[in-house]
């Protein structure tokens, strides 16, 4: 972890990983879309709506991965004061929020034809909605202070406290058995989903994750540039005094 703390070193590593992530994203998302829309069977109960899963489930995973990134990076930033960690948490927030929104909307689009309703206050849906609001709260709080460092610390605390929601989301389908179906991929005893459907899901999941990695790295790089600009501005103010 400490090796990445040095911004110059981080930039070097990020510059190496990013093209690789872009390549993986392109090479999995294109065949992923092909299998998801053309070359996979309709479900025997859900018909073609099962194709919504290939978008809905990867975005749900990224919603969780984004929040986990944010909470972990915030913890590292609070303990060791690494600037790259704080910028990582800040950068993960809008990306994770976007995928959480995509997860909620596509879930609605799946719920209407299959459950007969766009929305229900089921534990899984409610806890993911709370996740979305935690993201929004983090983003608002991080920018609410004139001193970005103070904002980062306050928002970081929110991210860490809110992390309790992540296992609640994961296990909500087991603890409160309501409308949302339980896990069928990441569960004990292996996935209970047919290989013909696991293939497009796997491709899309890898593609979404690679795209997320690319976006995150690029935004941390940008945040480092913006930090440099801010510091130069402060130095200018000092000179003007």
Partner 1 sequence: MSGFFAMGGYAAFIWPTYGLAILTMLGLLIWTMRRHARAAKLVAELEARRPRRRGVV
Among 47, 167, 177, 187, binds partner 1 (CB under 8 A): 47
Q: Does 112 bind partner 1 (CB under 8 A)?
A: yes
Q: Does 51 bind partner 1 (CB under 8 A)?
A: yes
Residue with tokens 């609640």: 168
Could you tell me if 214 and 159 are in contact, meaning their C-beta atoms sit under 8 angstroms apart?
Answer: no
Quote the least distance from Cβ 101 to partner 1, whole Å. 8
How far apart CA 237 and CA 241 sit, in angstroms, is: 6
Size of the site for partner 1 (CB under 8 A): 35
Q: Does 232 bind partner 1 (CB under 8 A)?
A: yes
Stretch that binds partner 1, among 31-39, 74-82, 164-172, 189-197 (CB under 8 A): 31-39
5 Cα distance to chain centroid: 22
Mark 4-23 with x for binding to partner 1 (rule: CB under 8 A) and - for no binding.
--------------------
Phi, psi (rounded to 5 degrees) for 47: 60, -145
Stretch that binds partner 1, among 48-56, 65-73, 122-130, 187-195 (CB under 8 A): 48-56
**Lookup: tokens for 235:** 């130095």
Sign of CA pseudo-dihedral 32, 38, 44, 47: positive
How far apart CA 104 and CA 102 sit, in angstroms, is: 5
Quote the least distance from Cβ 81 to partner 1, whole Å. 23
- Among residue numbers 116 through 155, which ones bind partner 1 (CB under 8 A)? none
Could you tell me if 96 and 63 are in contact, meaning their C-beta atoms sit under 8 angstroms apart?
Answer: yes
Quote the least distance from Cβ 15 to partner 1, whole Å. 12
- C-beta contacts of 107-110 below 8 A and 24+ residues apart: 107/56, 107/60, 109/52, 110/49, 110/52, 110/53, 110/56
Which residues contribute to the site for partner 1 (CB under 8 A)? Answer: 33, 37-38, 42, 47-49, 51-52, 55-56, 59, 95, 98-99, 101-102, 105-106, 109-110, 112-113, 211, 215, 218-219, 221-222, 225-226, 228-229, 232, 239
């Amino acid at each position: 972890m400490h090796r990445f703390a040095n911004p110059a070193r981080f930039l070097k590593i990020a510059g190496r990983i990013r093209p690789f992530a872009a390549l993986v994203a392109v090479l999995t998302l294109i065949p992923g879309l092909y299998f998801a829309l053309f070359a996979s069977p309709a479900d025997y109960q859900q018909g073609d709506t099962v194709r919504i899963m290939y978008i809905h489930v990867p975005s749900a995973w990224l919603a969780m991965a984004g929040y986990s990134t944010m909470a972990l990076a915030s913890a590292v930033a609070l303990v060791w004061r690494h600037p790259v960690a704080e910028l990582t948490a800040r950068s993960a927030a809008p990306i994770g929020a976007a995928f959480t929104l995509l997860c909620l909307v596509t879930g609605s689009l799946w719920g209407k034809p299959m459950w007969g309703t766009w929305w229900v206050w089921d534990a899984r849906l409610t806890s993911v909605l709370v996740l979305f609001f935690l993201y929004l709260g983090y983003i608002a709080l991080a920018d609410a202070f004139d001193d970005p460092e103070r904002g980062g610390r306050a928002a970081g605390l929110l991210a860490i406290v809110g992390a309790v929601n992540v296992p609640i989301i994961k296990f909500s389908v087991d603890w409160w058995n309501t409308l949302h179906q339980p896990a069928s991929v990441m569960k004990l005893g292996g996935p209970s989903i047919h290989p013909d459907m696991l293939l497009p899901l796997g491709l899309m999941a890898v593609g979404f994750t690679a795209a997320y990695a690319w976006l995150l790295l690029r935004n941390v790089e940008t945040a480092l540039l913006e930090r440099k600009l801010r510091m130069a501005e402060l130095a200018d103010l000092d000179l003007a005094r």
